[in-house]
Amino acid sequence: MTLAAEKTKDKGPGRVLAVLIVIVFTCVIGATYGFGLYLLPAVVAEMKAEIGFDYTAVGTITAVSQIGFLAAALLSGVLAPRLSAAVVIVVSAFLCAAGLFALSFADSLAVIAMIFVVLGACTASAWTPMVSVISRTIPFAHRAKALGLIASGTNYGVFLNGLLVPYFLTRQHWRDLWEITAALTFLISIACLLLMAWSGLLRRQPSSPAQDTADQLVQSGSLKEVLAARPMLVWAIMFLSGCSSIPFLNYFSLFLQSELGLSVEVAGQAWMLIGLLGMIGGVTVGAIGDHIGVRATLALMYILILTAALCLLFGTGLAFVHCAAFLFGIAFNGVFGLVPAYVTKTYKENLRVGIFSGCNIFLGLGSMLGNFLAGWGKSVTGSFTGVYLAIAAILALLIFLCSRLHRDTTSPDPHPAPENAVAELGGPALVL
């Protein structure tokens, strides 16, 4: 029996272990997403000037990272039950650290693109096993809060980006910035490894009748059954979210500097504001979702992001820039915590893994298309205005689509997973 399994019998130590796991998982998400994906937009102007590539190439780099994301979204769901979710998460963290360090030596577009394929894979292979654990171990009433808290880890990374970027770009070199973020990610990876080893979660648990029952529950949902549950609307929402919200963040810093003529320091402050609000926004939005329903809260988040886009497009002055950063910071990670919460609250246990895997795939496809078209649009028109107008239109469509979703329930899960199913996925029952 693992230490995690033993401690779930005692709420005191079990609670401490669970909190530590959530904290470390939040840090891993902060590194893989915050550094691995969202540091590039903040330093791409300096990299572009030194290495030599255009905005279409920027869109291509951010798009190809989604190739790794898509591949990892498929493979991590297969590898986690066989290796244990903890092993997949730890390996993903170390790979991310290696990729960030490699970027400090990159001297060509091809090398950068290949590294970002790996970094894109690390994001999905770290996040997907975490969601599997949370969806089967968190009490029904607290799932949105838990997922929102872990998803908000991205904003911790973005906030730290806002602190580091102005210093390194004005006093050091962009290559030094990749090295320091690689070192921080390596330390987080070590912490994750030690915690997972201490708790015994790195070991795949031997089969037991209860675990066999849990495995049957998860694996019995065939593709035909998943499609019969009609998840296409949820998948469409994730696809359109990838087309809109991801490019919004990826090109935010470039928009402020190239369109509005703002300095690196001001753009860094806006990034810090997004990160700061995201730190508390994820869990706060999740709590609202648990209280009033995920569907209504999701629509509200898209309204906030739409308002942020309109502030950038039609506002004048720093006040509108800060308003856009404020609204986007609250809503961005809230969206990506609410969607898996909606899946866990709406669909049967044996269909959730398949449906959420589809969500990740369509999110990756949407991100790939949105990032590439946004970079291409800037190269063709010479402006990001058309890009953000298109993003605003997609967000308006998303608000309408949310109204077509089935109403999610706020009652307890009628078919909860067996308690011993925790051990197979590598995590303790979290008592909040």
Locate the domains of the chain by residue range. Answer: 3-425
- List the CATH code of the domain at 3-425: 1.20.1250.20
What does the alpha-carbon distance between residue 123 and residue 151 come to, in Å, rounded to a whole number?
Answer: 11
What does the alpha-carbon distance between residue 95 and residue 98 come to, in Å, rounded to a whole number?
Answer: 5
CB burial of residue 114 (10 Å; 0-12, 13-18, 19+): middle
pLDDT at site 194? 92
Contact 134, 422 (CB under 8 A): no
Contact 60, 125 (CB under 8 A): no
DSSP state of 409: P
pLDDT at site 429? 29
Contact 99, 39 (CB under 8 A): no
Distance from the Cα of residue 324 to its chain's centroid: 20
Look at the pTM and tell me if it is higher than 0.85: no
Residues in the chain, total: 432
Please tell me whether residue 410 adopts helix, strand or coil conformation.
coil
Above 50 in pLDDT, residue 416? no
CA distances from 428 to 28, 37, 191, 219 (A): 18, 29, 18, 21
Please compute the mean of the pLDDT values over residues 291-299 and round it to a whole number.
Answer: 89
Radius of gyration of the chain (CA): 21
Residue 230 backbone class (left: φ over 0; alpha: ψ -120 to 50; beta: rest):
left
Percent residues over pLDDT 70 in the chain: 79
pLDDT at site 244? 94
- Say which amino acid occupies 398: L
Lowest mean pLDDT, pick from 43-57, 83-97, 201-215, 219-233: 201-215
What does the alpha-carbon distance between residue 255 and residue 309 come to, in Å, rounded to a whole number?
Answer: 11
The closest alpha carbon to 127, from 194, 212, 222, 37, belongs to 37
Mean pLDDT, the chain, integer: 79
pLDDT at site 227? 65
Please compute the mean of the pLDDT values over residues 410-422 and round it to a whole number.
Answer: 43
Please compute the mean of the pLDDT values over residues 4-23 and round it to a whole number.
Answer: 60
Please compute the mean of the pLDDT values over residues 388-399 and round it to a whole number.
Answer: 96
More confident residue, 222 or 110: 110
pLDDT at site 214? 39
CA distances from 311 to 323, 328, 371, 399 (A): 7, 11, 21, 18
Q: In sequence order, what are the residues at sequence separation of 6 or more whose Cβ sits closer than 8 angstroms to the Cβ of residue 222?
A: none
The closest alpha carbon to 242, from 69, 25, 56, belongs to 69
CA distances from 95 to 32, 135, 220, 266, 420 (A): 9, 25, 32, 32, 30
Number of Cβ within a 10 Å radius of residue 49: 10
Classify the C-alpha dihedral 268-305-48-94 as positive or negative. Answer: positive
For the record, the structure tokens of 424 come out as 């197979």
pLDDT at site 134? 67
Percent residues over pLDDT 90 in the chain: 25
What does the alpha-carbon distance between residue 333 and residue 327 come to, in Å, rounded to a whole number?
Answer: 11
Number of Cβ within a 10 Å radius of residue 91: 17
More confident residue, 335 or 136: 335
What does the alpha-carbon distance between residue 51 and residue 105 come to, in Å, rounded to a whole number?
Answer: 11
State which of 23-37, 177-191, 228-242, 409-423 shows the largest mean pLDDT: 177-191
Contact 178, 107 (CB under 8 A): no
What does the alpha-carbon distance between residue 378 and residue 192 come to, in Å, rounded to a whole number?
Answer: 40
The closest alpha carbon to 115, from 127, 106, 128, 125, belongs to 106
Contact 181, 101 (CB under 8 A): no
